[in-house]
Structure 1
Amino acid sequence: MTKLVFLVLCLPRLMLCLGAVRRWRGDESLRSHHELNSAPHLERDQNRTKQSEMQSALQAAVKRPFPESILSPLCIFLCGAREFPFAPPLRILSVMKRPMQILLAALSASLMHAQPQFETADVSGLRWWKGNTHTHTTNSDGDTSPDTVATWYREHGYNFLVLSDHNFFTDPSQYRYLEDSSFILISGEELTSSFRSKPVHVNGLNIPHILRPQKDITFLGTIQMNIDTIRNVRGVPHVNHPNFRWAFDHRILLYVQDYRLLEIFNGHPQVHNLGGGDRYSLEQIWDTLLTKGKRIYGIAVDDAHHFKGEFARSRSNPGRGWICIRARRLDPQELMQNLEEGLFYASTSVTLDDVVVRARSIEVVVRQEGDFRYKIAFIGDGGTVLQTSHGTRATFTLRPGLTYVRARVTDSGGGQAWVQPVFVKRQ
């Protein structure tokens, strides 16, 4: 195949040169004939000028840069021109024209197919819905009743809330009077287990009833059994705060199956989002899993326990982390489906107006708030920063060698937002 492509590309250049030689030799013969017959000086000068032009053109054709020397005559030929500036015989052109057109079309299609492209989704008609998937009440270790907790989120601009008490099912049907067209409650539970004193917490979203936390003889098995328990009732699992009490990291999560969601930010003061010592940050864990081929999306939560008293760094207060999901309607099923498809962003304070994914690019548009300044970083395999831009809008163009690209927006106050990874189609 390589030799055939080389022949197709080089043949026009060879024909160009041969045509030039043929013309030049013909003119040389004509010039000699006129000289032998004592032609007028003017005609000899014209022939010499023409000969010089032919020689210059031939030298230019031979010395012309390779792509230009191929593409110029080839494009003229394939577009239907009857002859090149120095044309080979028309009989050869007419015979070769159709096969060369077919070969060039096949080569062009092959090159286009080889270009990497992002996976894209149709998001037309979808809007953003803000919510939190990890919150506690007095039904477990929170300090405030479920109805008061729900009211706090509704009054602070949230559209949905999951009440995820430890090993307790807080039935949202008891609080339907708090819902309206812009706010709903979604059922949930934080399945709270452990392995050798290390916590294993997995949230079950949109579940129908209370679920029993699971234990296994291995750490991996304990996490997997709790995820399976949630899946068995068609709920949506997300793995909570790996660095809480330094419980586990990517070395175990790499082998866990059937989950799509991982907390990459948790507002609880003991979660160690940024890692420490030899332990990875939650973002580093995320990038390691993505680089190894896991399709994982990162969520931010507040893990709120303390709604009363002081709002301080040492307390687990609400409003520190949330997600915005794209959906047509404020419906639990649609929200959960789009959540697992990565149609959302996570945030601690930054609001995004749009995320536009095209076949070859990602565009991020940040909502300007106050006099904050913004830095937008595009991140790829291994957590490598591929591009950094400043301002409220940035576009990244896909390049070869990547399997995913995500984005992180940081404002001048330290707030952040995370755009979910967009995966590159397998060739």
Structure 2
Amino acid sequence: MTRPLAFTAPGRFWRGNLHTHSTRSDGVLPPEEVCRRYRAEGYDFLALTDHFIGSYGYPIVDTTPFRAEGFTTILGAELHSGAMANGELWHILAVGLPPDFPPPNAPTFVPVAEQETGAQIAARAVAAGAFVAIAHPQWSGLTLADARAITAAHAVEIYNHGCAAGCDRPDGAAIADLLLTEGRKLSLIATDDAHFSEPDHFGGWVMVKAPENTPGALLAALKAGAFYSSQGPELRDVRLEGDHVVVESSAVVSVVAMGHGTGAKAVHGHSMTRAAVPLQRLNNSPWIRVAAIDAAGKRAWSNPIWREGGKNPRVL
């Protein structure tokens, strides 16, 4: 029997949002009010990730004054440098940056000559201690070649709520699955990308398993992959048992297991809190991930479980 780290690591689950903006860049609320609203909505932690470009003063906003009992913050930013294949500037999420992280040459959202590439600034952020994710692949118009270049990333945004609200381009699953199929050991995050200029908030989050609600413990758990992502449903256990993946959750109507290529199998029902999905149609995929979908269409996503040649699982 094998379980993802989220269901074996010590501690409890903490709910947090990893992608948020304020008036320090293009958001409409000041940092203190953004933190207040997330705390009031029952979140345990928040990363304020304003756009790290020159026209905003390269902000890594100090949110430590807004921490309170039961609520913490992690310093971060959305990094920009270099052009993607479509000629637009990279968007790379970095959570856990030091406050003195050196800025790139990114004066505006328009790429300029002799900038760091997206791959270079992502690697520099990881070296500085950050948890790094490829932001909103669908919204960005990311190609697979673009995504392949960011070799230092820990994660891909599988869902971005702001992109759902603002342009109906919320998805990162296609890029994530292609990278997984190429052997990239990536995790999957759901985020808000909240600006509070439209209904782009409180719609996608991570549930991080850690022994305490502190920036250091949360960051270590994120890097280890000890979390799942959700729009609403709770994942209570995910485990491989023989030729099935067993999922225990809050009430859902569908549980889907996915692997490389066309490999997928769904189980459907009413108010299911336990489902056993057979894996024969996953084409002996070396990785498996799970989505649980409730009656309102809200999803929860596990991180991948890795299997050597379809056997002897390894867990992210």
Q: TM-score, normalised by structure 1?
A: 0.62
Q: Does 2:158 match 1:273?
A: no
C-alpha RMSD of matched pairs (Å)? 2.8
Paired amino acid for 1:263: E
3-state SS, counterpart of residue 90 of structure 2: strand
Structure 2 equivalent of residue 164 of structure 1: 49
The equivalent of 1:127 in structure 2 is: 12
Q: Does the 8 Å CA contact 1:118/1:361 hold for their aligned counterparts?
A: no
| SS of alignment partner, residue 354 of structure 1 | strand
Instruction: Tell me the distance in 1 between the aligned counterparts of 2:4 and 2:173.
Output: 23
Using the alignment, how far apart are the partners of 1:234 and 1:365 within structure 2? 33
Match of 2:146 among 252, 255, 280: 252
CA contact (8 A) 2:192 2:200 kept: yes
- The one-letter amino acid of 2:275's match is A
In 2: Cα distance, 1:124 partner to 1:229 partner? 28
Name 1:377's counterpart in structure 2. 256
Kindly state the Cα deviation for residue 202 of structure 1 after the two structures are TM-superposed.
0.9
Aligned AA (2:290): A
Structure 1 pair 185–156 and aligned structure 2 pair: CA distance change class (3 A): same
Which is helix-richer, 1 or 2? 1
Match among 222, 225, 230 for residue 125 of structure 2: 230
What do the CA deviations read for 1:98-141 (whole angstroms, capped 9, x no partner)?
xxxxxxxxxxxxxxxxxxx8576472543111000000111111
- How many residue pairs were aligned? 290
Q: Classify 1:120/1:164 alpha carbon distance in 2 versus 1 (closer, same or farther; 3 Å).
A: closer
Contact 1:119 1:423 in 2 (8 A): no
* Residue in 1 that maps onto 2:290: 407
**Alignment map for 1:83-98 (pairs within 5 Å):** none
User: What residue number does 2:211 align with?
Assistant: 328
Residues 8-407 of structure 1 correspond to what in structure 2 (within 5 A)?
121=5, 123=8, 125-167=10-52, 168-176=59-67, 179-180=68-69, 182-195=70-83, 197-211=87-101, 212-213=103-104, 222-246=117-141, 248-268=142-162, 269-270=165-166, 272-273=168-169, 282-306=172-196, 315-356=198-239, 362-368=245-251, 373-390=252-269, 391-396=272-277, 401-407=284-290
Give the Cα–Cα distance (whole angstroms) in 2 for the partners of residues 137 and 302 of structure 1.
13
1:203–1:411 distance in 2 versus 1, CA, 3 Å? same
Structure 1, unaligned stretches of length 5 or more?
1-116, 275-280, 308-314
| Alignment partner, residue 419 of structure 1 | 302
TM-score between both structures, scaled by the size of structure 2: 0.82
Report which of the two structures shows the higher radius of gyration computed on alpha carbons: 1
- Conservation of the 8 A alpha-carbon contact between 2:2 and 2:241: yes
Q: Deviations over 1:272-301 (max 9, x none)?
A: 536xxxxxx521111111111111111111
Residue identity opposite 2:40 in structure 1: E
Percent identity between the two aligned chains: 27
Which structure ranks higher in relative contact order (CA pairs < 8 Å, sequence separation ≥ 6)?
Answer: 2
Q: Distance in 2 between matches of 1:419 and 1:321?
A: 14
Question: Would you say the 8 A contact 1:118–1:423 is kept in 2?
Answer: no
Greater share of strand: 2
Whether the 8 Å CA contact 1:375–1:388 is kept in 2: the answer is yes
User: Which segment drifts farther, 317-326 or 190-199?
Assistant: 190-199
* In structure 1, C-alpha distance between the alignment counterparts of 2:4 and 2:37, rounded to whole Å: 36
Shift in Å, 1:387: 3.8
Distance 1:190 1:164 in 2: 5
Secondary structure, in 3 states, of the residue corresponding to 1:243? helix
* Change beyond 3 A, Cα 1:225–1:360: same
**How far apart are the structure 2 equivalents of 1:342 and 1:158?**
19
Separation in structure 2 between the aligned mates of residue 271 and residue 384 of structure 1, nearest angstrom: 29
Deviations 1:214-245 (A, max 9, x none): 679999x7221111120221111111112224
| Letter paired with 1:126 | G
